[in-house]
């Protein structure tokens, strides 16, 4: 891995729409018959670093925002980058070919859901996640920690980002029951599909993710909510560290044992909720282990999301890429990029699209409002996505009202393109030296300020 804070190549981010070489599905980098995956096939290089500033949130005014390239066995990711979420090895209502056409460089799937169906053995037999879903590019899997937590407390897709005055260690969403129980060794949970009881641990999560075969995977961690008490957060951080140590050991064992497979990078996950000392402590713990990158995870208060990234990056080696888990608010993305986030994933663009919420540079709007019934313009003027080039607001409005799947497809293509292009443009602004101007202009337009 290399660390070069200067802009060493003018065209490092120019070819964002080009897919990885098709033969990487059949012959990924660093895979040889009868040998363990070559770790050198995964690396990160910095292209341009934001200059430090008086108001920088890192130590000594450091700003950790940067552009770079993550090299993986199935291709490269130019960062900062948005990682669309195809939970069950599929984007809902959108083909992988369409995701490639709209500029997505990589996709993320969920280990918990793929464990439930079709099962990790199916993906292993198919040659791994990318080959299974005909995706010619890098892939991620998350560890299942969020899903297990959500089963435990009954929340589904989002966690509160402002819980002033709310503290409890027995948190259950209204009208839900607890389906997961955490102990020192792991988590026992009931399947939301059929009620079967299952067990996840550091070793089990590593085994599942190795068989799924993504280029980048995450250590199994305990995700708390902001409503948990300080004492529980402290216990959880230490438990996540112990699980992280076990994940590293099992990952190394499986890498040596699974011959002929490409190397899979393992990211540790930093927890600690909204406590600075816990975040810094957890970051130092994760930085001390032999991880390939870091996941900035857990529930984070919106008001300190940038600071939280900076606290973590203070402890992280420069040559480890940093993934911010589950973030897709425009202002949060800018704050996290400025303070060190390299890649971002979230289900929100696709989920919002299916509900009629359309993202544009001028803000978000509901396509199903009456005013769009006779609007034959694109979803967003000036957008270069397939939907905006061929279809009108009126048509997408009609499809969504009629519950036609094509409406889900068209709206999702636009929203995913919005976030992919936003990160592409942020990347260009860092390389071009105009990040602050682009940030301020983008936020003013999106939020009407």
Which residues are catalytic, by number?
Answer: 142, 345
Please state, in angstroms and rounded to a whole number, the distance separating the CA atoms of residues 32 and 45. Answer: 24
Of residues 183, 297, 191, 293, the one with CA closest to residue 242: 183
Q: Taking each helix axis as running N to C, give the angle between helix 330-338 and helix 435-447, from 0 to 180 degrees, rounded to the nearest 10.
A: 160
Q: Is 271 annotated as a binding residue?
A: yes
Q: Is 414 annotated as a binding residue?
A: yes
Please state, in angstroms and rounded to a whole number, the distance separating the CA atoms of residues 218 and 145. Answer: 9
Give the chain's end-to-end CA distance (angstroms, integer).
41
Q: Is 144 annotated as a binding residue?
A: yes
Q: By three-state DSSP, how is residue 254 classified?
A: helix
Q: By three-state DSSP, how is residue 347 classified?
A: coil
Q: Which residue, chain included where needed, has tokens 């859901």?
A: 113
**Cα 239 to Cα 146, 166, 182, 370, distances in angstroms:** 16, 23, 10, 51
Please state, in angstroms and rounded to a whole number, the distance separating the CA atoms of residues 176 and 58. Answer: 40
CB 46 within 8 A of CB 68: yes
Q: Is 298 annotated as a binding residue?
A: yes
Q: What is the CA radius of gyration of the chain?
A: 21
* DSSP H helical ranges for 117-229: 120-126, 129-132, 145-153, 202-212
The DSSP symbol for 91 reads B
Of residues 375, 378, 377, 353, the one with CA closest to residue 364: 353
Q: Is 146 annotated as a binding residue?
A: yes
CB 247 within 8 A of CB 295: no
Q: Is 142 annotated as a binding residue?
A: yes
Residue burial 310-320, b: 16+ Cβ < 10 Å; e: rest: bbbbbbbebeb
Please state, in angstroms and rounded to a whole number, the distance separating the CA atoms of residues 86 and 84. Answer: 7
Do you find a cis peptide bond into 371, omega within 30 degrees of 0?
A: no
Q: Is 221 annotated as a binding residue?
A: yes
Q: Which residues are annotated as a binding site for substrate?
A: 142-146, 221, 271, 298
Q: Which residues are annotated as a binding site for Zn(2+)?
A: 383, 385, 388, 414
Q: Which residues are annotated as a binding site?
A: 142-146, 221, 271, 298, 383, 385, 388, 414
């Amino acid at each position: 891995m290399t660390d070069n804070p200067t802009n060493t190549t003018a065209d490092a981010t120019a070819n964002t729409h080009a897919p990885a070489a098709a033969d990487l599905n059949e012959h990924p980098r660093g895979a040889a018959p009868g040998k363990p995956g070559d770790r050198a096939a995964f690396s990160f290089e910095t292209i341009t670093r934001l200059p430090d500033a008086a108001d920088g949130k890192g130590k000594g005014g450091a700003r950790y925002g940067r552009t770079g390239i993550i090299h993986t066995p199935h291709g490269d990711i130019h960062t900062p980058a948005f990682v669309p979420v195809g939970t069950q090895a599929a984007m809902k209502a959108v083909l992988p070919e369409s995701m490639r056409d709209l500029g997505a460089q990589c996709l993320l799937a969920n280990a918990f859901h793929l464990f439930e169906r079709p099962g990790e053995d199916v993906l292993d037999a198919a040659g791994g996640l990318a080959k299974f879903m005909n995706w010619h590019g890098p892939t991620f899997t998350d560890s299942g920690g969020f899903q297990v937590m959500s089963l435990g407390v009954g929340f589904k897709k989002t966690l509160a980002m402002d819980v002033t005055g709310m503290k409890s260690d027995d948190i259950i969403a209204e009208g839900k029951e607890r389906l997961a129980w955490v102990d020192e060794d792991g988590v026992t949970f009931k399947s939301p599909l059929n009620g079967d009881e299952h067990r996840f641990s550091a070793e089990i999560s590593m085994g599942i993710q190795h068989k799924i075969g993504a280029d980048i995977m995450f250590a199994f961690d305990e995700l708390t909510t902001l409503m948990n008490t300080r004492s529980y957060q402290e216990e959880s951080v230490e438990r996540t560290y112990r699980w992280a140590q076990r994940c590293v050991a099992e990952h190394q064992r499986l890498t040596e044992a699974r011959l002929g497979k490409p190397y899979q990078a393992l990211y540790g996950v930093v927890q600690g909720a909204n406590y600075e000392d816990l975040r810094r402590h957890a970051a130092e713990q994760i930085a001390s282990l032999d991880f390939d990158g870091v996941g900035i995870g857990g529930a984070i208060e919106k008001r300190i999301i940038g600071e939280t990234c900076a606290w973590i990056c203070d402890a992280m080696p420069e040559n480890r890429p940093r993934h911010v888990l589950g973030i897709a608010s425009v202002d949060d993305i800018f704050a996290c990029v400025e303070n060190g986030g390299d890649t971002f994933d979230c289900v929100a663009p696709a989920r919002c699209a299916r509900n009629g919420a359309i993202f544009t540079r001028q803000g978000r709007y509901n396509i199903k409002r009456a005013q769009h019934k006779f609007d034959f313009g694109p979803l967003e003027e000036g957008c270069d996505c397939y939907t905006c080039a061929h279809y009108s607001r009126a048509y997408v409005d009609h499809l969504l009202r009629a519950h036609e799947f094509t409406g889900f497809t068209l709206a999702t293509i636009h929203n995913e393109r919005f976030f992919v292009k936003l990160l592409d443009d942020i990347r260009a602004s860092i390389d071009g030296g105009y990040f602050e101007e682009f940030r301020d202009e983008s936020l003013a337009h999106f939020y009407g300020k």
